């Protein structure tokens, strides 16, 4: 509901409403000898009927305040057909057995995207919206790792979509050069989007996810396991390192779990805890050595630095 007060910010009004309504609710509960709501084992299961209007006022105001502070992007999550997929393929980890497949006549995500250049281009641009989800801000990529320590490095940004991360890094680190790789359809018209001040510093290259990696670089950045690596090469994986329970605020944990659920619907993927990242690298090849992990306080995305030891 919009505020009728032109001078008082809506969030201030909501905070006042929450405080006022809760104080009245607590006063009534105390007068009746009813315990305050909590998750304690002996907490009340239900509140008295005569405080329902006050309870509703608190819940309405807290819900509105919660959504205002988080912004609208979290409403984009839609878990299409996930229940049907779970019933049809219990515990599946295959990308061909997901809610997205059921909703798209048996096609996996990559097939849907590859079937239509317009869909692929739209998919690439829509993926940029995730850069503004709390905890996933693209601006954090510049501070989550000591990029300056790489010197005059060439970085392959594997499956880097339409270059939003590479652009952000290139603006802040002029000594770095980026080769952004993605599928042919995703890169349709992408060269026209390169900012003039980054021309020559960021280039694009068609590359399929499971094709042999031929591009030579000092650093390979993002979500690929690369072949033909030289000894000492660094692989930087920017991804979620799932926090342990109660390690981060509940609202931020909600975002992380929502993305985890979306990945299951999308491709039967999942987020990983640090121990699972270590196990994944070891299973891929024992020469992948996890060197260090950076996860800033204001981000869910961390940088996992892996060294290749031949």
- Determine what percent of the chain is predicted with pLDDT higher than 90: 29
301-308 and 177-182: which strand pairing? unpaired
Same domain as 56, residue 96:
no
Task: Say which residue, 254 or 2, is predicted with more confidence.
Answer: 254
Instruction: Tell me the pLDDT band of 4, cut-offs 50, 70 and 90.
Output: low
Residue matched to tokens 């196990």: 279
Provide the mean pLDDT of the chain: 84
Using 50, 70 and 90 to split pLDDT, how confident is the model at 47? Answer: confident
Q: Which pLDDT score, from 0 to 100, does residue 226 have? A: 40
How do residues 241-252 score in pLDDT, each as one tens digit?
888 887 877 777
Half-sphere exposure of 100 (CA within 13 A, CB side): 21
In a domain, 233, yes or no: yes
How many structural domains does the chain have?
A: 2
CA distances from 240 to 2, 133, 210 (A): 36, 13, 22
If asked whether residues 62 and 143 sit together in one domain, one would say no
Backbone φ and ψ for 83, nearest 5 degrees, come out as -65, -45
Out of 80-84, 223-227, 228-232, 268-272, which region has the weakest mean confidence (pLDDT)? 223-227
Q: Is residue 4 a part of any domain in this protein?
A: no
Give the bridge partners for 239, in sequence order.
302
User: In this predicted structure, what is the pLDDT of residue 249?
Assistant: 73
On whether both 20 and 111 belong to a single domain, the answer is: no
pLDDT at 268: 84
Range of the domain at 232: 75-308
Query: Could you say which of 38, 70, 102 is where a domain stops?
Result: 70
* pLDDT tens digits, 131-149: 666 667 777 788 888 999 9
**Bridge-based pairing state of the strands 202-206 and 177-182:** parallel
258 and 159 in a common domain: yes
Residues 120 and 26 in one domain: no
Which among 140, 160, 170, 158 has a CA at the least distance from the CA of 301? Answer: 140
CA dihedral sign, ordered 121, 134, 202, 290: negative
Q: Do 89 and 236 reside in the same domain of the chain?
A: yes
* 225 pLDDT tier (thresholds 50, 70, 90): very low
Same domain, yes or no: 62 and 188:
no
| Other CB atoms within 10 Å distance of the CB of residue 275 | 9
1 within a domain of the structure (yes/no): no
Residues 61 and 205 in one domain: no
Q: Is residue 245 part of a domain?
A: yes
Percentage of residues of the chain with pLDDT beyond 70:
87
Report how far apart the first and last C-alpha atoms of the chain are (Å, whole number): 61
Which residues, 6 or more positions from 41, have their beta carbon under 8 angstroms from its beta carbon?
none
């Amino acid at each position: 509901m919009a505020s009728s007060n032109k001078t008082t910010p809506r969030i201030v009004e909501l905070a006042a409403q929450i405080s006022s309504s809760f104080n009245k609710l607590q006063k009534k509960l105390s007068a009746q000898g009813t315990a305050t709501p909590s998750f304690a084992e002996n907490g009340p299961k239900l509140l008295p009927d005569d405080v329902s209007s006050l309870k509703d006022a608190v819940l309405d105001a807290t819900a509105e305040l919660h959504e205002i502070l988080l912004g609208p992007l979290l409403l984009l999550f839609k878990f299409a057909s996930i229940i049907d997929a779970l019933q049809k393929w219990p515990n599946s980890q295959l990308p061909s057995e997901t809610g997205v497949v059921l909703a798209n006549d048996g096609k996996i995500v990559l097939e849907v995207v590859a079937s239509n250049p317009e869909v692929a281009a739209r998919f690439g641009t829509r993926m940029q919206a995730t850069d503004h989800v709390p905890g996933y801000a693209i601006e954090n990529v510049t501070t989550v790792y000591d990029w300056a320590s790489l010197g005059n490095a060439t970085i392959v940004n594997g499956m880097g979509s339409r270059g939003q991360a590479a652009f952000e890094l290139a603006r802040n680190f002029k000594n770095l050069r980026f080769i952004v790789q993605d599928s042919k359809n995703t890169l349709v018209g992408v060269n026209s989007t390169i900012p003039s001040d980054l021309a020559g510093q960021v280039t694009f290259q068609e590359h399929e996810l499971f094709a042999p990696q031929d591009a030579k670089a000092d650093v390979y950045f993002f979500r690929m396991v690369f072949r033909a690596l030289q000894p000492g090469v660094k692989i930087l994986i920017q991804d979620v390192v799932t926090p342990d329970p109660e390690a981060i605020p509940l609202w931020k944990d909600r975002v992380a779990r929502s993305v985890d659920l979306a990945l299951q619907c999308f491709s039967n993927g999942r987020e990983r805890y640090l121990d699972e990242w270590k196990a994944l690298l070891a299973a891929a090849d024992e020469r992948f050595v996890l060197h260090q992990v950076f996860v800033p306080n204001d981000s869910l995305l961390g940088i996992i630095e892996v060294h290749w030891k031949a």
